[in-house]
C-alpha cells in the first residue's frame, strides 16, 4: 500500500486522487480523517506525523510513502517518520522538500528542509526529494485584500517561478510509480519567471478586475502577515525569501518527468478565480 500524507492538502490531495485513478492501493493520512474525501480504492487513517504511535500504525504494511507536512514541522516530523518508515519496511520515500535548500546563504526555510532531507537519507530508505520554488497557491493569502481593496500589499522582490501544485503532484506520482527516481532530487519550477506584480495582474485578468500591487516596506509587510494570523517566526522566514535581485531559474523537470509543460500561473488563476472574485 502507498501511504499518502498531507491528503487534505494541495499536493497530497491530488497525489491521492491520481494514485487511486491508476488503481494503486492507497492509505490517506490526516490528523482528522473525517475531513478527507477518499476515492474508491483508498482507506483513510488518523495520524499525527510528530507522534510515534500513530505514525507507526499508519505505516504498517506500507511499501512507499509520500511525505509532506507544514514546513516548520518538517525537521521534527522527519526525525519521527524516517526511522519508523525504515522499521516498517518502506522501500521508497518521496518527500516534498524545497528549492530553498540550494540557496546561499541558507535561509531558515532552507534549513528546515535540508535537515529533513538529511534525516530521510540517514534512514537508509530510498528517497526522492521534490524541490519546488514558490507555490502558485501561496497567492491565496492575497484573497482578502483583493476582495476588500482590489490591492495586494507586498515587498518588492525579484521574480519567482510560481508552480501549480498539480504539477508537483504529477511528478510525485511518477516518482512513486515508475523506476529511476530513487536517491534523486528534482528541482521543480513553474514555466515562467514572474514578479508578484505580474501575478496580481494575472489574477486581475482571471477575475476581470484591475488590481494593484502596492509595494510596502519590509516591517509593514511583516506586520500585515502577523495580523493575517501567521506566527511571527514563520512570517520572518517567509519574508527572508522575498528579496530584490533574487530569482529562480526555470527548470525543465516538470516537462521531463510529468511529460507535459508546466501549467502557467494564468491557468492557476483562472481555476481559482472564485477565491478572489
Ligand atoms: N508554499 C511554498 O511556496 C513552498 C515552496 C517549496 C516547498 N514547499 C513545501 O510544501 C509544503 C506544503 O505543501 P502543500 O501546499 O500541499 O500543503 P498544505 O496544502 O498546506 O497541506 C499541509 C498538510 O500537512 C498536513 N499536516 C500538518 N501537520 C501535520 C501533522 N502534525 N501530522 C500529519 N499531517 C500534518 C495537513 O494535514 P491535516 O491537517 O489533514 O492533518 C495538510 O494536509 C510546505 O510545508 C513545504 O514543505 C512549499
pLDDT tens-digit readout, 204-245: 999 999 999 999 999 999 999 999 899 999 999 999 999 887
What is the CB < 6 Å shell around ligand 1? 5-6, 8-12, 30-32, 47-50, 68-71, 73-74, 96, 98, 132, 134-135, 137-138, 165
The answer to whether 46 and 31 have CB atoms below 8 angstroms apart is: yes
- Mean pLDDT for the stretch of residues 132-144: 96
What is the distance between the alpha carbons of residues 164 and 175, in angstroms, rounded to a whole number? 17
SS3 category, 29: strand
pLDDT tens-digit readout, 57-68: 999 999 999 999
C-alpha distances out from residue 215 to 153, 155, 202, 218, 244, Å:
6, 5, 17, 9, 12
φ/ψ (deg, to 5) at 201: -65, -40
Would you call 55 exposed, middle or buried from its count of C-beta atoms within 10 A (0-12, 13-18, 19+)? buried
Which of these, 167, 178, 171, 184, lies nearest to 267 by C-alpha position? 167
Q: Which pLDDT does position 274 carry in this prediction?
A: 98
| Ligand 1 atom nearest to 72, measured from its CA | 45
- Mean pLDDT for the stretch of residues 27-38: 96
What is the distance between the alpha carbons of residues 141 and 162, in angstroms, rounded to a whole number? 14
Give the chain's radius of gyration (CA, Å): 19
| Ligand 1 atom nearest to 5, measured from its CA | 34
Its pTM stands at 0.97
- Mean pLDDT for the stretch of residues 42-57: 98
| Ligand 1 atom nearest to 6, measured from its CA | 43
74 has a pLDDT exceeding 90: yes
* Ligand 1 midpoint to CA 255 (Å): 24
pLDDT tens-digit readout, 100-134: 999 999 999 999 999 999 999 999 999 999 999 99
Residue 153's pLDDT band (boundaries 50, 70, 90)?
very high
* Ligand 1 midpoint to CA 134 (Å): 14
* Ligand 1 midpoint to CA 197 (Å): 26
255 has a pLDDT exceeding 80: yes
Under 8 Å CB-to-CB from 12, ≥6 apart: which residues?
Answer: 4, 5, 6, 28, 66, 68
Cell of 24: 494503486
246 has a pLDDT exceeding 80: no
Amino acid at each position: 500500500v502507498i501511504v499518502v500524507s498531507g491528503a487534505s492538502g494541495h499536493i497530497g490531495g491530488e497525489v491521492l486522487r491520481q494514485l487511486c485513478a491508476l488503481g494503486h492501493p492507497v492509505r490517506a493520512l490526516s490528523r482528522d480523517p473525517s475531513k478527507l474525501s477518499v476515492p474508491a480504492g483508498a482507506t483513510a487513517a488518523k495520524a499525527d506525523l510528530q507522534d510515534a504511535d500513530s505514525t507507526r500504525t499508519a505505516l504498517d504494511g506500507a511499501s512507499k510513502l509520500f511525505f509532506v507536512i507544514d514546513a516548520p514541522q518538517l525537521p521534527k516530523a522527519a526525525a519521527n517518520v524516517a526511522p519508523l518508515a525504515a522499521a516498517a519496511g518502506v522501500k521508497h520515500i518521496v518527500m516534498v522538500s524545497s528549492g530553498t535548500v540550494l540557496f546561499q546563504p541558507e535561509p531558515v526555510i532552507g534549513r528546515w528542509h535540508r535537515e529533513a532531507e538529511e534525516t530521510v537519507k540517514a534512514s537508509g530508505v530510498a528517497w526522492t526529494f521534490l524541490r519546488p520554488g514558490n507555490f502558485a497557491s501561496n497567492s491565496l493569502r492575497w484573497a482578502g485584500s483583493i476582495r476588500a481593496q482590489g490591492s495586494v500589499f507586498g515587498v518588492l522582490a525579484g521574480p519567482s517561478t510560481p508552480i501549480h501544485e498539480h504539477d508537483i503532484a504529477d511528478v510525485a506520482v511518477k516518482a512513486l510509480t515508475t523506476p529511476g527516481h530513487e536517491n534523486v532530487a528534482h528541482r521543480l519550477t513553474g514555466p515562467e519567471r514572474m514578479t508578484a506584480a505580474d501575478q496580481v495582474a494575472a489574477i486581475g485578468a482571471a477575475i476581470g478586475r484591475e488590481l494593484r500591487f502596492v509595494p510596502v516596506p519590509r516591517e509593514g509587510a511583516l506586520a500585515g502577515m502577523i495580523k493575517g494570523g501567521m506566527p511571527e517566526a514563520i512570517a520572518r522566514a517567509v519574508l527572508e525569501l522575498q528579496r530584490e535581485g533574487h530569482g529562480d531559474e526555470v527548470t525543465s523537470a516538470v516537462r521531463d518527468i510529468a511529460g507535459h509543460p508546466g501549467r502557467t500561473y494564468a491557468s492557476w488563476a483562472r481555476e481559482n478565480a472564485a477565491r478572489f472574485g
